[in-house]
Every structure is written in C-alpha cells, then in structure tokens.
Structure 1
Amino acid sequence: MLSKKYNPSEFELKWQEYWYKNDIYKYDYESDKETFSIDTPPPTISGSLHIGHIFSYTQAEIIARFHRMQGKNVFYPFGFDDNGLPTERLVEKEENTRAATMPRSEFIERCLLTTKKYEEDFKKLWMAMGFSVDWSLQYETINPRVRRLSQKAFLDMAKCGKAYIKESPVLWCTTCQTSIAQAELDSADKETTFNYIPFTVDGDELIVATTRPELLYGCVCLFINPEDKRYLNYLGKKSLVPLYNYEIPILADEKVSLDKGTGVVMCATFGDITDTEWYEKHKLPFRKVIESNGRISDKVPFISDLTVFTAREKIIELLKENNLLRKSEVIAHTVSTHERCGKPIEIIPSKQWYIDILSERERYLQAADEINWYPASMKNRYVLWVENLKWDWCISRQRYFGIPFPLWYCSKCGKVIFAKDEELPINPMEANPSEACSCGSTEFIPETAVLDTWATSSLSPLVNSKYGSEEDFSDKLIPMGMRTQAHEIIRTWAFYTIVRSLFHTGKLPWKDIMICGFVLAKKGEKISKSKNNASSSPRELIERHSADSLRYWAAGAKLGTDTMFSEEELKISKRFLTKLWNAASFCIMQLQDFDGNKPKELLPIDQWIIEKIKVLEADAVENLNHYEIGLAKHDIDEFFWSDFCDNYLEIVKDRLYKPEIHGKEERLSGQYTIYTVLLEILKLYSIYVPHITEEIYQAYYKDFEKQISIHKMLWNMKAEHNNEAILNFGESIKQIIGEVRRYKSERNQSLKEKINTLIIHIPIEQLQYLEKTLNDIKSCTWAEEVQLNLCDSCGIEII
C-alpha cells in the first residue's frame, strides 16, 4: 500500500542511491543487445548551472531512458569541459586576479582546484535530477587520457598537413588576449559615426566614408568597384592619405558596394575580414596600427599607445582641426564581438596553428545529408554555416589552462619538432625533445599556446570510445547513436566534431543529432551563466518542488523550441504527480487480493483500455524515435487523465467495489486490467518522472514482476494490428458517459444524481460489446434503467 501523500523529499534521494548502488544504468560491454550510445555535451566549467541546463540535459536523458526500455544496451557517458578560456575567466573572477600576474604553474593549479569543485557540484546536481548516467564512463577534458588523445589527434593531423602553422591575419580578442576562430564570433549593433574624409588624387578630393578613422595610418589601398563609372578615371593612380601624407594605390575590386558610403573604400590592415581578403588577393603591404593588447602601436603618430576608442576620438578631432572631415553621420553599425567576453575583436597578423576546413567544404555539406537532424529545420543552420566559412579553423590560443601543443621550435633553424606518440601527454614547457634537431641543434623553444577547447571537445566520440588506447572500441561505438546539444553550438561543437570524426575515423560521428532549445529569462533573452539572469538555482528548485517536477516541466516543450520558465509552471507538474500517486493508490487498494491470474474473458471496456494503451505506446515510440519527447508526453498525459482516470476508472469502480453485484469474474477482469494498464502507465511515465514511478513499482509491483527496478523493464504493449472495433466501441462509451455528465452539469445536478431511464443509441456492430457493459454503464451513470436503440450513430436520451 502507498502512503496517503507522496513526499518527494523522502523518496528521491533513496532511489538515486539505490540505482547507483545496484548499477541499474551501467553499460554492459559483454551484452549482445543493440547498443544505443549518446554523445552528451560536457558542460563548460565557467560558473554554476541554471534552469537552461536542466531543460536541455533532461530532454536528452529522457531519450536514454526510452531506449533502455526498448531493450537496448545504453551507453550514456558524461564529461566535463574543464580546460580553456571559460574556466580561466571563472578563476580570475572568483579570485579577483589575472592569469598574467602570476606564474603560469600557479594559475594552472588554481584552475585545477576550481574545476574539481565545480565538477563535484555538477555531478551532484545531475544525480539529484535522477540522470541515468553510467558514471564509470565519466571523463574530463583536462585529464591525462584525454590530453594524450587530444595531442595525438593533433599530431596525426599535423603530420599529414591537415593541421598547419602560418603567419597571417587572425581574429584576435584584445580583452582575452588570444586568437579565436570564426565560430566564436558574435555580432552586436553599436552606435558609431560614418566619417567622410577627403583623400587627394592629382589635386582632386576623393571622399572616403569610414567608421574606423583610427586606422588611417594602416591604410594601404583605396578600392573602387570596376563597374562604378564615377571613379573609373582614378584607377591605377596614387592617392595621398590624409594626416599621414603618404601615397597608396587605387585599385578595382568587385566587392566594393556601389550603394554604401561614397563608393570608394579604404583598405587598412586590418579593419575587417574584407580587408584581409584584399590584403592577400592583391598582395598588399602590412602597416601595423593595433597591438595585441588593444592599444595603438607606438610607431603610429598622433595616437600611439591609446586605446582604439580613444584613438578614434583623437583622430576625429585632428581631422576637424585640419579641415579634413567633410561630414559625420551617426549610424547603427554591426561589429564582430568575441562570444566569451562580448567585446569587439580586432584582426592582427600572428603565427597560429590551423586545421584546414575550407578545402573539404563539400564533404562537410554531404555529411549534413547523411545525418538525421531533429528537428529537421536545424540542418539548414549547419549548411548555412559551412557555406559561409571564410577562414580555416584557428586552434591555437594564447592562454594558460589548456592542453599544450606537443611541439617545440628549433632555436637554430626554426624547424617544428613534434613529440613522439609514446611521450604523450607532454608539456613542452617542462620537457625537451628526446632527440636533437636534424640540423644538429639541441636548443629548442617550446610552443606556449594551448589548443582551443573545441579542439578537444570535438573529439568526444573518440574520447567515449577510448580511441587509440588498448581498450579502443571505436569500431563498435562510432558512429554513435545520438548527439544532443543546443542550437547555438551547431557551428562549433557539431561542425568541429564532424570534421574531426571524418578525418580520424573516416566515419560520421553519430547517426542522429538532437537539437534542444533555450530557456528564456524574458522574451528574446536566454538564461545564461554570464548574464546571471536565472531567478533560482536548480538545487533550490529541486528542494522546493522536486526533481520529478522539474523533469516533467522540461519534457513539455516541442523539440528545438525556446521556452520561458516560471516557477508557477511547476504547479502543473505537482498536480500531475499528485494525480498519479492518487490513481495508483486507488488501483493498488483494489488489487490487494489479486493473484496475478488473467480471467477467462475480459469485458469489452477492459479490452478497450488495454487496446488504447497499446496504440498509445506505439505512437509514443514513434514520437520518441524522432526525439519528440513533448509530443509523446502530451499523448500519454491525455490517455492518463482522460481515458484512464476520468473515464475507465469511473466506469469500472463499482465493479471493483461490488463483486456480489457484478460478479467475481467481472471483478477479476477489472483487476487484471488496472494491474496491466497502471503498470504500463508507470513504465511510460518512468522515462519522465523516474522517482515516483520507481516508488510505486517497488511498493507493489516488484513482488509480481521480479525486476530489481522499473527502469529495467521493457515497454511491451505495442500491438501489431489495432482492434478498431473495440477502439470505436470505447470511444462510443466515452461519448455516452460524457453526454450524461454534461446533462447533469447543465442542470446543476450531482454526478451521483439518479436517472430514471437512459436510452442509448448505438450502431448494431457495437451491440455485442454494449450488452456486456450495461452494468458498468448503469453504475457509472446512476441510471435505474438502460434501454438500447440500434441506429447508425451513437447518442443518448435521458428520461
């Protein structure tokens, strides 16, 4: 028997410990069952988790539970992305310090202590949510095994030229003091000025409009569209740069917009990505203006050592003083920013390591067609990203806490010296090459940059399969069954993982990709760690409302869509949990003398509810195979609330209470049915609310079913062919009961108000079922007499 009231604080921790102790979710390497593997996003160690993480990670966890109950051997690992800039920024913020102000080794030690603390907190939270993770598969992106794999994967790419080093313009965050990749760019609208400045050509003024007058000293060319008839006579001539008075060429390029500004564009090294393209295409010289620290070079007259913004104001003042500013317009201008800090980026020349992605763009587009996208619309985001790639992937970062590049440079000849595979993992700042350079030198300069954190997390399928180790089982695991992630990192984690998997294994990383939406703090603003805009922590929400309440809420959204969150919504979850508990309590009370035997014959209404849940289960399987957990839950809810509770239990209740009136075999038919259907309801809901369903199962069903946990059971009610006749009959009974209730409600009568005569109109093909259901109908409607009238459609009359 169940207690009168369900108390989640009493039960949830108990079952979490039980699952963990009994290895309920452990992956079985020896099993011959089909493996379903999940590539789970390792959360970044950059602050506390919020309701947005609960939302997306819970949706994926429900899929893990679903496949386990389809009889599959579920490989469900969890990792932590604990190296790289996000962790560094967290440590700097928490300790009110800067990495650059202390020895590198000391800062790394602080990072390690911080990541360990947060990883323990994260793990406790996931366990408190009842996640069915196999924690023996846990990994961290900074641990020795992953460091070795990451370094080895880099060496494999470098040795065949897929990873390469070059000095060229690179996207640079002057705030974070590191190079970044195109995928790490965001954009922001800033108010700025469009400044119209006269360049001089043979004594004539050629007006150029620019938002970056501080780059005048870096101007190396003026460009004109070859179809712009206004300026064709200037092509091939020289122009004098205002203030700095040196000459630059005037060239043609079709990228110049005919409609923007004056139609004459200055190319400075470097104002934007177009400048870098012109620089390389037209073999232009480089003139340094901005240093890596974001200040103007000391070689630039008038504005040396100023910040970019201050230098811009200073140049505008000088232009005005020298009558060199024809006009200035305030405009909204879109600038590229670094996604990590939100500050505008610059482009400066630097020697960096890259992975070649541009040369295989078509292969990556082909991969999009070979992967199943859920929802399908998310595929287009990936395709647009790949089609618009402009840069190879810069993978080196000028930071501290990360996986080092396993290489040195020869001090004498500059040759790159790679570490040997057997030496990995290695820190080149703490060890030297094992052999002299081919030139004979034994003096080396270690690479001080670290690998982009995405360069490691993009290897997650290889990490999961222990690729390259003695325990390597990538042949069995890759492609993995499913990748789950948010839509904002399609351009990074999804794309980079496809790149790496195709290179290292020749296979796609996974068959399916499940894209989750965001939780919004308000319209258009996602909840995030950086904005600290979540009203309550997940831990507080669990303590106030329970893990199952949060899980039930998280499962309600359509896949891939963003949703708002309010604690008020958890009242719906709690109402559901109460209803499930009460319905189960009622059923179990009626089953105290049930011996588990099936009656000789099931009454038609009992056949209907069993047939209905078979149809429900088949539909749920179809939806969940397409990752539509919200649609599946909606259908299960509809069945539970309407078909089972509001209709079936009300119809069968009197038969269960009064065998002396209805008959013992008839009562047994009802008992068998509620036993069967309630158990299946619990199994269907167990993927959503695992704690309450486990408590109900253990309290009653375990003695009969003998399984150690409900989560070890299978969904096994799916029908190959629907019994349409019995399904139609059940809908007719629902209609009859509903019309009687409506009749009484309209007259403000109690549902227990007696009816003298209930006339039922019913099709002849349902007569055989209805005759065996008359006693149930009479007791449910409180009718003294029931008369039958055969006709083409179903309906009632009340006398």
Structure 2
Amino acid sequence: MDILIYTPSKMSISKTYNPKETEDKWYSYWLEKGFFHSEPDDREPYTIVIPPPNVTGVLHMGHMLNNTIQDVLVRRARMLGKNACWVPGTDHASIATEAKVVAMLKERGIEKKDISREEFLKYAWEWKEKYGGIILKQLEKLGASCDWDRTKFTMDEDLSEAVTDTFIHLYNKGLIYRGVRMVNWDPKGKTAVSDEEVIRKEVNQKLYYIRYQVAGTTSDNPEYILIATTRPETIMADSAICVNPNDERYTHLKGKKVIIPLINREIPVIEDEYVEMEFGTGCLKVTPAHDLNDYELGLKHKLPVIDILNDDGTLNEKAVILVGEERFVARKKIARLLEEGELLEKVEDYKSQVGFSERTDAVIEPKLSLQWFCKMEEMAKPALEYVLEGDVKLIPDKFTNTYRHWMENVKDWCISRQLWWGQRIPAWYNDKAEWVVAKTAEEAEALFTAGGQSAHGIVQDEDVVDTWFSSWLWPISVFDPSVCGHPEKEGNADLNYYYPTNDLVTAPEILFFWVARMIMAGHEFRGEAPFKNVYLTGIVRDKLGRKMSKSLGNSPDPIELINQYGADGVRVGMLLCSPAGNDLMFDESYCEQGRNFTNKIWNAFKLLKGWSESTTPGENPDNKAAISWFENRFNEALVEIESHYAQYRLSEALMATYKLIWDDFCSWYLEMVKPPYQQPADEFTVTATKAFFEKILTLLHPFMPFLTEELWHDEIFGERGELDCCVVAAYPQPAVTDEKLLKEIEVIKKVVSEVRNTRNSKQISPKEALPLSVKVNSDVDYHAYLHILNKLANLSEVTFVEEKVSGASSFMTGRDEFFISLEGNVDPQAEYDRMMKDIEYFEGFLFSVNKKLSNERFVQNAKPEVVANEKAKQADAEAKIATLKESLKALNLG
C-alpha cells in the first residue's frame, strides 16, 4: 500500500466529501496495521461475538442495524483503552444451505436421491467455499471492525467436534433421549424443523361444518352433532369428539359414541373443560396424530393415535380412503364426498394463522415422529436465575417477563434433523436396530461388546443435529471448542481472558431459541453465563409499518444504500430511528439525513482549514467567552452521551452527539468566533477550535468511522505517526462544567434568536444594525457577552436602562426585559396587533396554570418540585403579560 497518500503534509481537502475515496482506503489501512486484532494482555477485555449470519445469507437491513450497533460498541471500547475483540463468523444453517445445494444440483440435472451422502457433502462444501463468505465481505463495506483473524464457521472441524462431544456429554448425563413425540414436520423437505423455522402467516381458508351421526340412532331418525374444522382430510384420524362438561347442549351425549363420516368408524364422546363452549359449535374433533393440542388431550384421555399421513404429506393406508392422495387434494375430494353424502352442512370463509416452513414454504404438518430430544427443564432453571438475579441484563428489560414465561414453560427440544449438511448425530445402530452413543465406530463397537450386544453391521444415524445445537456453544467454541462437552477442562488462555463476553446484540425473536440456550450451555460448561448484557434490537419496518422483506419488495439493498449515501451516512440513518427493543420505521430519508450530517461536518472543517491557512499570532480576547462556553458545553453533552451509552440508548447517544455538532458547534460556536469576512483568525482561537474539532472527531468516530479517520489525518493537525489514527485515539472524558456560564450563554442565545425573530417579523434586513436596550432584573452579566450579542444579532449598540423604553419592540428572556428601537421600521398598528395576540396567548396559558394551582388535590398530592415548577410558570406568564401591556401603552394608539 502507498502510505504517502496518508501523509498529512500531502493532504488537501476537496470541495465535497466523497465516501468512495475514503472508505476502502481507510478500511484497508486499519486491517494492514492490525487495529482490529486482539490478543490477551493486561488490559481490561471487551468482547462481543457476532450472531453468526447464515452462510447462505447476504446483507439485509436487520444485519445492517445489528452490526452497526456492535461496531459502535466495539469502536468505543477500543478508544476507551480496552482490549476490544469482536469475533466474526458464519452459521452453517443446515436447512437453508441444504436447500441451496439441492437447487444447485437440480440446475446441473442431479437429484439428491441419486447421489451418496459423501457426494452431496462434496457439493455442499463447494457451494460454501464459493458463496459462504459474501456476507462477511459486505460487513467490511459497513465498516465492521471485526477481528477477521478469528473468523469462525460452525462446521469448522474443531467446532463440529465440540458439537459431538456436547451431544455425548448430555446423553451420558441423561439429558438427551430418543423417542416418538409431536414435531413440526416439513413434508416437502421431509424433516423436522424448530419452532423458529416455522413462519406464521394469516391465510384465507374454508371452515367446513361436518355432520357426525350419533351411534345408535337410525337412518330413519338420525341424530347428528356438528363439527367445524378447517382440515376435513384428517377426519379419518379422529380418536374422539370432545365437549365441555358444563355445556348443557351436549349433556345427553355423555358416554355415547359418534360415527366418523365416510369411513363409519365409531369414536367416543369425551368431556374436557379445554373446549370453549362459545367457539364454533362447541364440539371439537380430537385428532392426536395431527395437532399438538389434540395430542396433549389424547394423552390425558388415553386416546389412540392414528397417523394417516406419510412423510411427504400423502395419505397412507390408515386413512382407509383416498390412499396416496396429496393432503390438499384429499381435502377437496373429502369435501365433495361429504357434500354428496349430505354430511356437509355448510362451508364458510375463514382466516387463520398457518405455519409454513422457512426452508421450503410448505405448510407445516404437526406430526408424531421418532426423533432425538434434549431435556430442557433442568438446564432452564439456572439460565432463568441468571436473568432474574441480574447477572445477565436484557435491554430493554421489558423482555424479562417474556423470557421468564418461556423458561418456566420450557418443552423438550427436538434436536435431530433429517438432513445431510450439518454435524451428524453420534448414535450407532447394529444389525438388530439396537443403538449406542459414541464418537467413532470403534468406540461404538466397544460399547456394544461391553453391553453383550451384537457389534455387527454398525451404521451411524443418518440425521444431523439442529443448527441451534452448534450455535448455542458459540461464545465458548469460538475461543476454545475443546471444553464443550468437557466441563472439567480448565480452558485455554483465550477463553479464560475473553469469556464471559460483555455484550450480545441480537433480535428478540431468538431470545429463547439462541440466547437462552447459550446461557444454558455457558452454565453447563463454564459455570457462568456467556455474556453480561443482551441488547435486543427491534424489527426493521418500512414507513408504513410493514416488516421489510424481499417478497414485499420494500427492503432496500444495503450495499446500494452505502454506494449512494456512504457507509457513515447509512450508519447514522439506521441509528437515528432505532431505540433498543422497539421496531424502527426505516425511511431512506434517514440515510439522506446521515449524508447531510457528513457534509455539514466536512463544510465546518473546510471553514476551520481556511482559518488555519491565514492565522495571525496572538489572541482575540472577544472570543474567550465563546471558547470557554463550548468547552463546557462539550463536557455537558459528553456526560449526557455517556449516560445514554450506559443505558444502551445508542439512538439517543447519537442524537445528542448530532445536536452538539450541528447546533452547538456549527450553528453557534463557529458563528461566535469566526473572523470577519476576508480577515485572518487569531492563533489562540484557531488552536482552541482545532482542539475542539479533534475531540469531536473522537466522540463521533464510533458512529462515523470513515469521515472521522479522513479528517483526523488532515495537515492542520500536524504530522501523525502511521499508528496515530482516530480508530485508536483516546475517547474524550468529561470534566467539571461551569453551570453558570452554560445557563448565561443559553440566555444570550435566546436574546439573539429573539432579535432575529423581530427582524423577520418586521422584514428588516439582517445587514441593518439595530440598537438594543436591556433592563436587567437577573444576575446575568451581559457585559461579558457583548461581543457575542453584537456579532450574532448585528447590534449597533447595547445600552442598559432602568425603565422601559417607550415606542420600542420588546421581549423578555427569563426576568430580563429587552427593547429594540425600530424608529420608522415598524407599523404601529401591526405591532399592536402582534402584542395583543401574544397577550391573548399568555393569558390563556396563565388561566390553565392558575386552574391547576387552585386545585387542592393537585397541590397536596403532586411532588413539591412539580408544584414549584407550575408556580414558576405562573410568575413567568404574569411578568410577560405585564411587560406586553406596558409596551402597548408605549405605542400611544389610544
């Protein structure tokens, strides 16, 4: 790399800021100099592990938000002198990746069923090597300061071994078992999927009202009960009809049976308060094999389980009729048969939530299946205590109750998946279908022999473990995978230094599926939680409130946004609208606002650079007050910003930084101290302003790393060493502030604003100097700020008076009164009308305040400071009304 382009003496600032000229340049430089890399040392560690994006993924708006937040936290920690380590990586995403590989093979004319597992995995690794790193490269464009030397992949050899060891450890502990349970079944993918991989959608359906004949009644005088269902194709799997025992409409059915239409099988009528009398007909068909709630009801009442669906969603022999038909085709045919037999009373349109597979978009089928499960109850208890006792803080804490509900009602975890891409389950079967859990075939053979079982025909389980079963080890396995499954191990130097990590930034929807499970694994293998704080971001929505998605076409391409607005502009745009835990309504105008902010800073710097080039020796004493004010204002803002950081209110921290720079520095301070047109600035002012600008750059760097690094190296700051970069500059620390000075400058700013407003309302040119008279009723020393007043308000003179000035336009700031003699520049009648409107406004305001203060309950129950505040409002309004009335008299309009 040509380092000369960074030599300050060679720097020249362009007319406008061009992100394309800075972003790749500085990111490459940071990498070359190793600023992002971390090794254990004597400093305090600050660690974040990235929520590993799917290896199939490309950058979307959720990633943009999540990783911008992480980068802000990491960059700030680095500047605070901590040993910051942000570990990147990707997740192998079993379901999504296998789907991508299957699609790739189909394009080549290859079917998965026609090749071996080994051949398929060869193609899968080929796909991963070609496409798997795209999203990480895109994160570099965002400015993510990850320690790329530490990049991990959940199917790295050592991380995969950690998964296997963890499975064996939990199995030997009695926490993993094999059994038949109800799972979410994807008939197209032919695999179980987790709840997180089920997408709930509201769909238009039909509600079918079916007649079930009561057994024992004749065809001449039949009695029917009416059942409402959206799934008539499952009636052949019914095991009972359930009614509420308190429902008097069905008391006579107690102990009786009904006949399933079309197949004429009798099933009992049972009673359970689970049934809602007001919902539907009050009668519920119970189909234990095809509905989770029905399954629980079936267990309670010991009902038979009749599974009528094959793994691919077609009807099997147990259905008796329409065997081999696809489930939704069978639905239509069943409805037609029922109608022909006069057993279908009516059909209604109906909307309901239906689960779809995230992988294949197939409708999920609740299905009893032989799977591997992990017991959760024992591990959930300590994971809940960590959060309830504050060892792990959820931010915002409103999610604590949700977390508690999940953990107190935890279900066993189905950890097996009928896929080839992933960590294979370490279970081995002999030729008699007996099985053992072991790491290798040799270990399995030894276990079979030791148990007196056959060791012939040993084969490994075909299934892989759920992807979450690898990612729950992530905060441990990225540092030392060897301790996973081996809690007795001490751990290596990296793990002992970086673990537990500090902050986790993730989405609320995986609070249970990933966050809770990481806490469980952390407790199991390290005896402590894997992180201290969990920052939960909101969902990125469009300005209409819709979740951003490719299908809706409402999600912009993050890389295109970066190309258009610059990475810094997009980072600012994302954070301006992203309070922790709340959904953010994203609009591209926020990125435009971010870009405008970069241009504002760039232009302010150009102004300062111009001063620097024509500085005169010495000091302008008129600027002392302004310089002292901004120094104190910076410290005041820094305290506020640090408070926001401490509470993880990053959006508010950015906004406070934004206002400090745009309003206080650019709009006020620079205007206070800038020299007259085409005149040089004094050396003292330039030096002070440079120092302020350097502090602003360090304060701003976590949010806008590229712009700040570019300006940091400008020649006006002098020669910089090759490691003297903003990315590792010391973060500013707050100092004691002069509260009196800050308050007095706020008064001066209000006076300036009032004079400017008077000019605007009277249409007086800004170039025309106006005289100002001041009647001081407070302890503000206006003499100390005359230079600022004269300069910013363009005053011809400032006089101090004891009485009100007749015929002048007036205003109040606090208790002090101000008068502008406008002579022939004002229409007396228009001035009279304006003051009458002001009096009307303040009298209305005073009425509302008086009403509140006359309310005894309010005065007695409100906090003393609240009452005092209302009384202050009352006094202020009364004083302003009195001043306005005095000014009216001075107009002499009768």
TM-score, structure 1 normalization: 0.90
Work out which of the residue numbers 303, 326, 346 in structure 2 matches 1:307: 326
Q: Kindly report which structure 2 residues correspond to 1:287-306, keeping only aligned pairs within 5 A, or say none.
A: 287-306=306-325
Equivalent residue, structure 2, for 1:710: 726
State how far apart, in whole Å, the 1-side matches of 2:124 and 2:777 are: 75
State how far apart, in whole Å, the 2-side matches of 1:700 and 1:532 are: 49
- Displacement of 1:627 in angstroms is 2.0
State how far apart, in whole Å, the 1-side matches of 2:618 and 2:312 are: 79
Equivalent residue, structure 1, for 2:305: 286
Equivalent residue, structure 2, for 1:172: 185
Secondary structure at the aligned position of 2:718 is classed as: helix
Equivalent residue, structure 2, for 1:2: 13
Work out which of the residue numbers 3, 17, 27 in structure 1 matches 2:28: 17
Contact 1:739 1:796 in 2 (8 A): no
- Displacement of 1:653 in angstroms is 0.8
Q: Kindly report which structure 2 residues correspond to 1:311-322, keeping only aligned pairs within 5 A, or say none.
A: 311-322=330-341
Q: Which moved more, 1:378-387 or 1:393-402?
A: 378-387
Equivalent residue, structure 2, for 1:405: 425
Equivalent residue, structure 2, for 1:353: 372
Secondary structure at the aligned position of 1:606 is classed as: helix
Equivalent residue, structure 1, for 2:757: 742
Work out which of the residue numbers 663, 678, 693 in structure 1 matches 2:708: 693
State how far apart, in whole Å, the 2-side matches of 1:756 and 1:525 are: 54
CA 323–671 in structure 1, closer or farther in 2 if over 3 Å, else same: same
Contact 1:294 1:307 in 2 (8 A): yes
Contact 1:483 1:513 in 2 (8 A): yes
TM-score, structure 2 normalization: 0.81
Q: Structure 2: give runs of 5+ residues left out of the alignment.
A: 1-11, 218-222, 484-490, 803-812, 822-894
2:454 is the alignment partner of 1:441: yes
Moved >6 Å (runs of 4+): 593-602
Work out which of the residue numbers 76, 97, 116 in structure 1 matches 2:86: 76
- Displacement of 1:78 in angstroms is 0.9
- Displacement of 1:432 in angstroms is 7.0
Secondary structure at the aligned position of 1:526 is classed as: coil
Equivalent residue, structure 2, for 1:455: 469
Q: Which amino acid counterpart does residue 66 of structure 2 have in structure 1?
A: S
- Displacement of 1:117 in angstroms is 2.8
Contact 2:243 2:284 in 1 (8 A): yes
- Displacement of 1:532 in angstroms is 7.2
Contact 1:37 1:76 in 2 (8 A): yes
- Displacement of 1:784 in angstroms is 3.4
Contact 2:416 2:463 in 1 (8 A): yes
Equivalent residue, structure 2, for 1:240: 259
Q: Which amino acid counterpart does residue 417 of structure 1 have in structure 2?
A: V
Q: Which amino acid counterpart does residue 85 of structure 1 have in structure 2?
A: I
Contact 2:76 2:702 in 1 (8 A): yes
Q: Which amino acid counterpart does residue 133 of structure 2 have in structure 1?
A: E
State how far apart, in whole Å, the 2-side matches of 1:349 and 1:18 are: 56
State how far apart, in whole Å, the 2-side matches of 1:726 and 1:602 are: 14
CA 779–314 in structure 1, closer or farther in 2 if over 3 Å, else same: closer
2:63 is the alignment partner of 1:53: yes
2:240 is the alignment partner of 1:249: no
- Displacement of 1:136 in angstroms is 1.4
Equivalent residue, structure 2, for 1:774: 786
Q: Which amino acid counterpart does residue 194 of structure 1 have in structure 2?
A: Y
CA 749–783 in structure 1, closer or farther in 2 if over 3 Å, else same: same
Q: Kindly report which structure 2 residues correspond to 1:508-547, keeping only aligned pairs within 5 A, or say none.
A: 508-521=529-542, 523-528=544-549, 531=551, 533=553, 536-547=556-567
Equivalent residue, structure 1, for 2:209: 195
State how far apart, in whole Å, the 2-side matches of 1:354 and 1:727 are: 64
1:617-637 CA deviation, whole Å, 9 max, x = no partner?
111111122222211111111
State how far apart, in whole Å, the 1-side matches of 2:563 and 2:33 are: 25
Work out which of the residue numbers 812, 815, 822 in structure 2 matches 1:793: 815
- Displacement of 1:387 in angstroms is 4.9
2:747 is the alignment partner of 1:732: yes
State how far apart, in whole Å, the 1-side matches of 2:778 and 2:437 are: 88
CA 155–524 in structure 1, closer or farther in 2 if over 3 Å, else same: farther
State how far apart, in whole Å, the 1-side matches of 2:397 and 2:141 are: 32
Secondary structure at the aligned position of 1:350 is classed as: strand
- Displacement of 1:495 in angstroms is 2.7
2:499 is the alignment partner of 1:488: no
Work out which of the residue numbers 129, 146, 151 in structure 2 matches 1:116: 129
Equivalent residue, structure 2, for 1:670: 685
Q: Which moved more, 1:562-571 or 1:684-693?
A: 562-571
Equivalent residue, structure 1, for 2:672: 651
Q: Kindly report which structure 2 residues correspond to 1:540-579, keeping only aligned pairs within 5 A, or say none.
A: 540-557=560-577, 558-579=579-600
Contact 1:237 1:249 in 2 (8 A): yes
Secondary structure at the aligned position of 2:249 is classed as: coil
State how far apart, in whole Å, the 1-side matches of 2:793 and 2:182 are: 81
1:514-555 CA deviation, whole Å, 9 max, x = no partner?
1112333563432235x3735653333322322112112112
- Displacement of 1:326 in angstroms is 3.4
State how far apart, in whole Å, the 1-side matches of 2:646 and 2:122 are: 44
Equivalent residue, structure 1, for 2:872: none
State how far apart, in whole Å, the 2-side matches of 1:472 and 1:73 are: 14
Secondary structure at the aligned position of 1:231 is classed as: helix
Contact 1:409 1:445 in 2 (8 A): yes
Q: Which moved more, 1:188-197 or 1:129-138?
A: 188-197
Alignment length, in residue pairs? 778
Q: Which amino acid counterpart does residue 73 of structure 2 have in structure 1?
A: I
- Displacement of 1:657 in angstroms is 7.3
Work out which of the residue numbers 387, 406, 409 in structure 2 matches 1:368: 387
Secondary structure at the aligned position of 1:504 is classed as: helix
Equivalent residue, structure 1, for 2:47: 37
Q: Which amino acid counterpart does residue 185 of structure 1 have in structure 2?
A: V
Secondary structure at the aligned position of 1:193 is classed as: strand
Contact 2:17 2:599 in 1 (8 A): yes
1:351-399 CA deviation, whole Å, 9 max, x = no partner?
111111245555444343233222232334434444554x311110001
Equivalent residue, structure 1, for 2:883: none
Q: Which amino acid counterpart does residue 714 of structure 1 have in structure 2?
A: A
State how far apart, in whole Å, the 2-side matches of 1:789 and 1:616 are: 36
Equivalent residue, structure 1, for 2:654: 633
CA 130–188 in structure 1, closer or farther in 2 if over 3 Å, else same: closer
State how far apart, in whole Å, the 2-side matches of 1:473 and 1:193 are: 59
Q: Which amino acid counterpart does residue 65 of structure 1 have in structure 2?
A: R
Secondary structure at the aligned position of 1:468 is classed as: helix
1:585-607 CA deviation, whole Å, 9 max, x = no partner?
22233335889999999822211
Q: Kindly report which structure 2 residues correspond to 1:612-627, keeping only aligned pairs within 5 A, or say none.
A: 612-627=633-648
CA 316–13 in structure 1, closer or farther in 2 if over 3 Å, else same: same
Work out which of the residue numbers 268, 286, 296 in structure 2 matches 1:277: 296
Equivalent residue, structure 1, for 2:631: 610
Contact 2:90 2:154 in 1 (8 A): yes
- Displacement of 1:140 in angstroms is 0.7
Q: Which amino acid counterpart does residue 210 of structure 2 have in structure 1?
A: Y
CA 344–569 in structure 1, closer or farther in 2 if over 3 Å, else same: same
State how far apart, in whole Å, the 1-side matches of 2:380 and 2:299 are: 21
Give % identity. Answer: 26
Contact 1:686 1:711 in 2 (8 A): yes
Contact 1:172 1:180 in 2 (8 A): yes
2:386 is the alignment partner of 1:395: no
- Displacement of 1:300 in angstroms is 2.6
Q: Which amino acid counterpart does residue 703 of structure 2 have in structure 1?
A: Y
- Displacement of 1:101 in angstroms is 4.5
CA 14–266 in structure 1, closer or farther in 2 if over 3 Å, else same: same
